[in-house]
Amino acid sequence: MNTAEQDRVKEFLNCAQRARNRGDRAAALTAFEAAAALRPLHAGIRVEMACELRSLARLDDAEAILRGVLDAEPQNFGALAESGHIRCQRGDHAGAVAEYEAAAALKPQHPGINFELARALRVMDRLAEAETYLRRVLEADPCSAAALVECAQINLCRGDRAAALGCLRSAAEAAPANLDVRLELAAELREQGAVDEALVLVRSVLDVDADHFTALMQLGQLHRARDEPPQAMAAFQAAAAKHPHQTLALVELVHENWAAGAPGEADQLLGRALAQEPNHLGALMVSAEHALLAEDAEKALALARCAIEQHAGEGMARL
């Protein structure tokens, strides 16, 4: 490959990362595909393509790419890890553990793969094993905010909400500049009824980053919990305006408009959500609820089956 082609590949990869950072996964995929056209045998680029396909719920396409990588390089760490992520998304957590364990055999001390093993095992309710892998992460970094947050999730599985809240407070103390950890703490405070304290935390995040998507979404949920519909609507509208590629904001606006007695606006927003991301779990579920309200059980059933096919690990569609 000549220098000009190398520069083009680098520019495509930079474009992909910029698109990923702003949440435009379709544009990221297009850029990675352009890079792969120039470097068709580059395993790393193909793994990144698989990652974007997974984010777009195109799991069969992602798996096809990964099979090609692993056929050529059976011990490709990135491909094994990404294959585990896809199995998780399909709800096959046992299969995910097998893929993660194969990756961990290549890099036993890799904090990311140990973390993924802990999370997959926790979902399977194999909590003691999950803690074993989590300890590896914490031994390498006792202040790992992600590991402390996962400790909280394990405690929640055990029904110990007090311990979970303690883990999240420790995580927030260990990483005071980590806005995502602050929001994890706020979310648990909201679940435990401490809405005002959660609101303070969410606003502190928005003071640092006024465009933070998760913070705007949590702000809307907190105002909803406080029975403040106008403020909730405003927060979700801000999230949708600042992050047009985030379908979840549109879905929340559908709920708010239905509650406000504006079904026409709700239907329009739902149409936008499904056009943007046809397999989005929240959009599919809202569509199914709408079909039930319209007494169209056949359509609701078809939508629920579609959601199960695309998001096998989620229980909402089965319910």
Structural domains in the chain plus CATH codes = 1-107 (1.25.40.10), 108-176 (1.25.40.10), 196-243 (no CATH), 244-319 (1.25.40.10)
What pLDDT sits at residue 294? Answer: 82
Question: Cα dihedral angle (283, 233, 179, 117), rounded to 10 degrees?
Answer: -20
What pLDDT sits at residue 5? Answer: 85
Using the 8-state DSSP alphabet, how is residue 74 labeled? T
Q: Beta-carbon neighbour count of residue 50 at 10 Å?
A: 29
What pLDDT sits at residue 313? Answer: 63
Question: How many whole angstroms separate alpha carbon 316 and alpha carbon 319?
Answer: 5
- Show the tokens assigned to 160: 């110990």
Question: How many whole angstroms separate alpha carbon 97 and alpha carbon 64?
Answer: 20
What pLDDT sits at residue 221? Answer: 96
What pLDDT sits at residue 309? Answer: 82
Cβ neighbors of 271 (< 8 A, separation 6 or more) are none
Chain segment 45-80, per-residue pLDDT in tens: 999 999 999 999 899 999 999 999 999 999 999 999
Q: Is 294 helix (H, G, I), strand (E, B) or coil?
A: coil
Question: How many whole angstroms separate alpha carbon 62 and alpha carbon 24?
Answer: 17
- List the alpha helices (DSSP H) in the chain: 3-21, 25-38, 43-55, 59-72, 77-90, 93-106, 111-123, 127-140, 145-157, 161-174, 179-191, 195-208, 213-225, 229-242, 247-259, 263-276, 281-293, 297-310
Under 8 Å between Cβ of 316 and 285: yes
Cβ neighbors of 121 (< 8 A, separation 6 or more) are 93, 97, 127, 129, 130, 133
Question: How many whole angstroms separate alpha carbon 83 and alpha carbon 251?
Answer: 29
- What is 83-123 written as a DSSP string? HHHHHHHHT-HHHHHHHHHHHHHHSTT-HHHHHHHHHHHHH
Using the 8-state DSSP alphabet, how is residue 265 labeled? H
Q: Which residues, given as ranges, of the chain have pLDDT below 50?
A: none
Closest CA to 30 of 89, 241, 18, 41: 18
Under 8 Å between Cβ of 302 and 312: no
- Show the tokens assigned to 166: 């303690």
What pLDDT sits at residue 204? Answer: 97
Question: How many whole angstroms separate alpha carbon 55 and alpha carbon 156?
Answer: 27
What pLDDT sits at residue 182? Answer: 96
- Show the tokens assigned to 195: 């809405």
The phi-psi region of residue 212 (left if phi > 0; otherwise alpha if psi is between -120 and 50; otherwise beta) is beta
Rounded to two decimals, the pTM is 0.70
End-to-end CA distance of the chain: 53
Question: How many whole angstroms separate alpha carbon 36 and alpha carbon 51?
Answer: 14
What pLDDT sits at residue 17? Answer: 95
What pLDDT sits at residue 200? Answer: 97
Question: How many whole angstroms separate alpha carbon 298 and alpha carbon 293?
Answer: 12
